[in-house]
Amino acid sequence: MSLPHAILTALLEKPSSGLDLTRRFDRSIGYFWSATHQQIYRELGKLEAAGHIRALPAEQPARGQKKSYEVLPAGRAELRRWTAAAQDPRPHRDALLLRLRAAAVVGTAGLEADLRRHLDLHRLQLAEYQQIEKRDFPPGNDSAQARLQHLVLRAGIELETFWTQWLTEALAELPVLEEGVG
């Protein structure tokens, strides 16, 4: 249910075409709510049919021209309703954690390389988030919109910090664990 709301949010930030939305998802929203090009286009059609968005009139109608969309009052109202609604947290599902649990009964052979790979990936993501923070949220950018967007980014930074610390700890424990499992 959240993809249409992610699209409404992105369109309220800036009216865009489907292609522009896809690019923006890849650069920002996609860090915490991913969607394929096809999913975005399908959802744009549903949002338009529901009267939540409309295609902006083209300056020069031409075949194959990108349609840009904007949010209508009904779409803004739907986003307000959804934002204010209560929603329970979802249980976290992570195959790596399940694999570690399985290793407790079958042994840890082969896990070290993948733990190191995960650590490298989380370090890269953390560095990318920190670059975004430095670039997009300099001191003094205190608008309400910037502060809320920065909070979302800070959540990503804190999660990546957690994973890098936890994976470092797991790798330090692994040699001791290998002796006692299997």
The whole-angstrom separation of Cα 130 and Cα 99 is: 29
For the whole model, what pTM was predicted?
0.79
**For residue 182, what pLDDT is reported?**
52
Closest CA to 32 of 171, 158, 172, 153: 153
The mean per-residue pLDDT over the stretch 61-84 comes to: 87
Contact indicator for 16, 40 with CB cutoff of 8 Å: no
Q: Mean of the pLDDT values across residues 27-46? A: 88
Which residue intervals of 137-180 are DSSP H helices?
144-180
Measured between alpha carbons, how far apart are the two ends of the chain, in Å? 43
Q: What is the pLDDT of residue 138?
A: 87
Q: Please report which confidence band the pLDDT of residue 141 belongs to, taking 50, 70 and 90 as the band edges.
A: confident
The closest of 114, 108, 94 to 173, measured between CA atoms, is: 108
- Does residue 1 register a pLDDT over 80? no
- Largest separation between any pair of C-alpha atoms in the chain: 72
